[in-house]
């Protein structure tokens, strides 16, 4: 049977229908209705963060927080190219300049020893990514930001539910964005949220999310439309009831992969981070000096209708739309380029059976 790289978790059909029933009574389908408000409160609690704002998708959440911070146009933002293109676009679409910092060899997050060398008088913020759910060195990044007066906005799209020393990962930096896309650990079909601490941003973010309107007769910002609707929120309420079991099932899958692929010469697995409660979002494997190259492994799996993903390849600084930037070009971020050429994320979802994990490993090890 074909195996995809991911498969969305869903509540039972009955549970979702029960949750959306109210909507036929209220006829309130979007614009911060009852479901939206309920999910927001439940997420503030689950993620252990002071404030959550819900969005129609994660990308717009990231665009909106960058917009709300009002950086002068043309300011520079230090970020990583080893990510989904959304991260880089959210910076560029705000009229800011992405400056690409390399990643480290342990966990593929931003190499904190290379950040300060990229800071100029135009730098306004750092946008790191908790890639694969591996968390960035949040302590060092905050120290650097404080020393230089920079904002820190995390792309935490992969990191829903992750904790560091017992604290919700969304509580670090000035803000964090989680994606609730159907392919993520937790989803609202499409969706996303921001976590942030500054109460002064509550109204502003809310206005920007709704066309910049402030009440019915005033418009303060050139905003867009990024509101999460009630059907999305209902899916989120249902999925949140089951999230801990979902993560536990992912853990069993990841442990089986590790048991089968650990200590194989030429296969490198991601480190297990200290003091981190993982969400087991992805299982990246690096092939370097193995009997098969990454691309050969992709082909071997594909023959058996198993789809693994070259995630992340290409790097965002290799895309043609960014070639005019002074920091662009993958040769400027050699470690990220090294991983982009060699990494593969293997199929991983809560309901992936251990027999299927074994089948995938057998093909790789054949
Ligand atoms: C999924 C993802 C996004 C975008 O989130 P959407 O909810 O799909 O808009 C941004 N950054 C990263 C790293 C992602 O994986």
- Per-residue pLDDT of 184-234, as tens digits, reads 999 999 999 999 999 999 999 999 999 999 999 999 999 999 999 999 999
User: pLDDT tens digits, residue range 246-276?
Assistant: 999 999 999 999 999 999 999 999 999 999 9
Atom of ligand 1 nearest to the CA of 61: 9
The protein residue whose alpha carbon is closest to atom 5 in ligand 1 is 58
Domain limits for position 315 = 243-365
The answer to whether the CB of 86 is under 6 A from ligand 1 is yes
Distance 226 CA to ligand 1 centre (A): 14
Mean pLDDT in residue range 47-61: 97
Q: Ligand 1 center to residue 86 CA distance, Å?
A: 6
Are 160 and 277 spatial neighbours (Cβ–Cβ below 8 Å)?
no
246 CA distance to ligand 1 middle (Å): 20
Do residues 61 and 201 share a domain? Answer: yes
Within a domain: residue 7? Answer: no
What's the rounded Cα separation, in Å, for the pair 127 and 209? Answer: 20
Residue 8 lies in a domain: no
In the predicted model, is pLDDT for residue 149 greater than 90?
yes
Q: pLDDT digits over 59-106, tens only?
A: 999 999 999 999 999 999 999 999 999 999 999 999 999 999 999 999
Does ligand 1 have an atom closer than 6 angstroms to the CB of 360?
Answer: no
Per the prediction, the chain carries an average pLDDT of 97
CA of 282 to the centre of ligand 1 (A): 14
d(CA 79, CA 250): 29
Mean pLDDT of 38-42: 98
Nearest of 351, 280, 278, 342 to residue 311 by alpha carbon: 342
Last residue of a domain, one of 203, 222, 238: 238
Final residue before a domain boundary, out of 238, 263, 278: 238
At residue 327 the predicted structure's pLDDT band, cuts being 50, 70 and 90, is confident
Q: For position 260, which CATH number holds?
A: 3.90.1150.10
Tokens of 219: 């418009």
> 176 CB under 6 A from ligand 1?
no
1 inside domain: no
Probe target for ligand 1 pocket from 108, 130, 155, with the most ligand atoms within 8 Å of CB:
155
State the distance from the centre of ligand 1 to the C-alpha of 178, rounded, in angstroms.
8
**pLDDT for position 28:** 98
Q: How far is the CA of 280 from the centre of ligand 1 (A)?
A: 17
- What domain count does the chain have? 2
The answer to the question of residue 141 being in a domain is yes
Pocket test for ligand 1, best of 58, 89, 189, 191 (most atoms within 8 A of CB): 58
pLDDT at 159 (0 to 100): 98
Q: Find the mean pLDDT for residues 101-125.
A: 98
Whether 150 is covered by a domain: the verdict is yes
Asked, for residue 2, whether it belongs to a domain, the answer is no
Do 230 and 119 have their domain in common? yes
Probe target for ligand 1 pocket from 79, 82, 86, with the most ligand atoms within 8 Å of CB: 86
The CATH number covering residue 55 comes to: 3.40.640.10
Same domain for 27 and 90? yes
Ligand 1: centre distance to CA 264 (Å) = 32
Among candidates 92, 84, 85, which has minimal Cα distance to 67? 92
Calpha distance 366→50 (Å, rounded)? 50
Identify whether residues 294 and 207 lie together within a single domain. no
Kind and range of the H or E run holding 53: strand 51-55
19 lies in a domain?
Answer: yes
Burial classification of residue 171, based on how many CB atoms lie within 10 Å of its CB (0-12 exposed, 13-18 middle, 19 or more buried)? middle
Q: Which of 238, 264, 281 is the last residue of a domain?
A: 238
CA–centroid distance, 215 to ligand 1, in Å, is 30
pLDDT of residue 326: 87
- 143 and 46, same structural domain? yes
* pLDDT at 66 (0 to 100): 98
Q: Are residues 279 and 325 in the same domain?
A: yes
Residue 309: pLDDT band (50, 70, 90) is very high
- Give pairs for 258-263: CB < 8 Å, separation 24+: 260/357, 260/358, 260/361, 260/365, 261/285, 261/361, 261/364, 261/365
| 140 lies in the same domain as 267 | no
pLDDT interval class at 1 (50, 70, 90)? confident
* Same domain, residue pair 178 and 288: no
State whether 225 and 269 are in the same domain.
Answer: no
| pTM over 0.95, yes/no | yes
Distance separating alpha carbons of residues 13 and 188, to the nearest angstrom = 15
pLDDT band at 10 (very low <50, low <70, confident <90, very high): very high
Nearest alpha carbon, ligand 1 atom 2: 157
From the CA of 267, how far away is ligand 1's center (Å)? 27
pLDDT for the residue numbered 293 = 98
Residue with token string 């040769």: 331
pLDDT above 70 coverage of the chain, percent: 100
Distance from C-alpha of 268 to C-alpha of 285, rounded to nearest angstrom: 6
- Separation of alpha carbons 188 and 34, rounded Å: 15
Residues 49 and 197 both lie in one domain? yes
Neighbours of 138 (CB within 10 A): 22
Tokens, residue 107: 């966990």
CA-CA distance, 284 to 270, in Å (whole number)? Answer: 7
Cβ 84 under 6 angstroms from ligand 1: yes
How far is the C-alpha of 129 from the C-alpha of 126, rounded, in Å?
10
257 and 212 together in one domain: no
Give the C-alpha separation, 321 to 328, whole Å: 10
* Residue 98 forms part of a structural domain: yes
Which residues, 6 or more positions from 288, have their beta carbon under 8 angstroms from its beta carbon? Answer: 266, 268, 342
For 272-299, write each residue's pLDDT tens digit.
999 999 999 999 999 999 999 999 999 9
Same-domain status, 119 and 194: yes
Q: Is the CB of 179 under 6 A from ligand 1?
A: yes
């Amino acid at each position: 049977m074909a195996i995809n790289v991911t498969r969305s978790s869903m509540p039972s059909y009955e549970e979702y229908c029960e949750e959306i029933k109210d909507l036929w009574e209220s006829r309130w389908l979007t614009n911060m209705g009852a479901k939206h408000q309920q999910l927001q409160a439940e997420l503030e609690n689950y993620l252990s963060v002071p404030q959550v704002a819900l969005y129609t998708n994660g990308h717009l959440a990231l665009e909106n927080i960058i917009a709300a911070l009002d950086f002068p146009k043309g300011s520079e933002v230090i970020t990583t190219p080893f990510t989904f293109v959304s991260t880089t676009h959210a910076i560029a679409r705000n009229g800011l300049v992405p400056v690409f910092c390399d990643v480290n060899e342990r966990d593929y997050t931003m190499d904190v020893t290379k950040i300060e060398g990229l800071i100029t008088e135009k730098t306004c913020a750092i946008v790191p990514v908790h890639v694969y759910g591996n968390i960035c060195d949040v302590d060092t990044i905050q120290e650097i930001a404080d020393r230089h007066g920079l904002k820190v906005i995390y792309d935490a799209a992969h990191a829903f539910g992750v904790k560091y020393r017992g604290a919700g990962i969304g509580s670090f930096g000035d803000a964090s964005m989680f994606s609730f896309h159907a392919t993520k650990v937790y989803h609202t079909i499409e969706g996303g949220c921001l976590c942030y601490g500054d109460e002064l941003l509550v109204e502003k973010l809310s206005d920007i999310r709704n066309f910049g309107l402030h009440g019915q007769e005033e418009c303060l910002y050139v905003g867009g439309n990024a509101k999460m609707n009630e059907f999305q929120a209902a899916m989120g309420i249902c999925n949140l009831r089951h999230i801990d079991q979902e993560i536990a099932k992912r853990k069993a899958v990841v442990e089986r992969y590790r048991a089968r692929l650990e200590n194989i010469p030429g296969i490198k697995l991601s480190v297990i981070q200290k003091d981190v409660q993982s969400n087991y979002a992805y299982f990246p494997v690096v092939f370097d000096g193995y009997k098969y190259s990454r691309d050969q492994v992709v082909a071997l799996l594909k023959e058996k209708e198993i789809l693994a993903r070259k995630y992340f390849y290409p790097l965002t600084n290799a895309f043609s739309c960014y070639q005019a930037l002074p920091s662009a070009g993958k040769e400027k971020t050699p470690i990220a380029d090294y991983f982009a050429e060699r990494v593969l994320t293997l199929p991983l979802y809560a309901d992936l059976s251990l027999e299927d994990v074994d089948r995938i490993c057998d093909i790789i090890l054949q």
